[in-house]
Amino acid sequence: MNTRNAILVSCLLLGAVNVVHADDDIGPGETEELLKAGTIKPIEQLNTAALSNHPDAMIGDTELENEYGKYVYKVELRDSAGQEWEVDIDASSGAVLADKQDD
């Protein structure tokens, strides 16, 4: 393999590793450990933050992810008018990072 191809393959592999680590779902066992350690807020508190701008909404899917070293709680909501919302919350602080209408 020539030098140019070796560099290209190395760059592609490094890019794939960054994609894998950029957005990792956290499983229930790890979530429990993070809660016990105080690393993330209780799920009930994160749900309350998600509903703060949509008090009439119902919570759908939720997931905890590690995005670039930050724990992000992602919540899908559906309000009484049937509109869907996606809310991202910093799971460590409880701050709402994004609140956008789902198309």
pLDDT of residue 1: 52
Range of the domain at 66: 24-101
Give a yes or no: residue 19 inside a domain.
Answer: no
Give a yes or no: residue 16 inside a domain.
Answer: no
CATH assignment of the domain containing 45? 3.10.450.40
Strands (E) across 43-95 are located at 58-67, 70-78, 84-90
Give a yes or no: residue 6 inside a domain.
Answer: no
Token look-up 């140019």 returns 4
pLDDT of residue 5: 42
pLDDT tens series, the chain, 103 aa:
555 544 434 444 444 343 344 458 888 889 999 999 999 999 999 999 999 999 999 999 999 999 989 999 999 999 999 999 999 999 999 999 999 998 7
Q: How far apart are CA 45 and CA 23, in angstroms?
A: 23
Give a yes or no: residue 42 inside a domain.
Answer: yes
Which secondary structure element, helix H or strand E, spans residue 16, and what is its range? helix 3-22
pLDDT of residue 3: 53
Q: How far apart are CA 74 and CA 25, in angstroms?
A: 10
Beta partners for 74? 63, 88
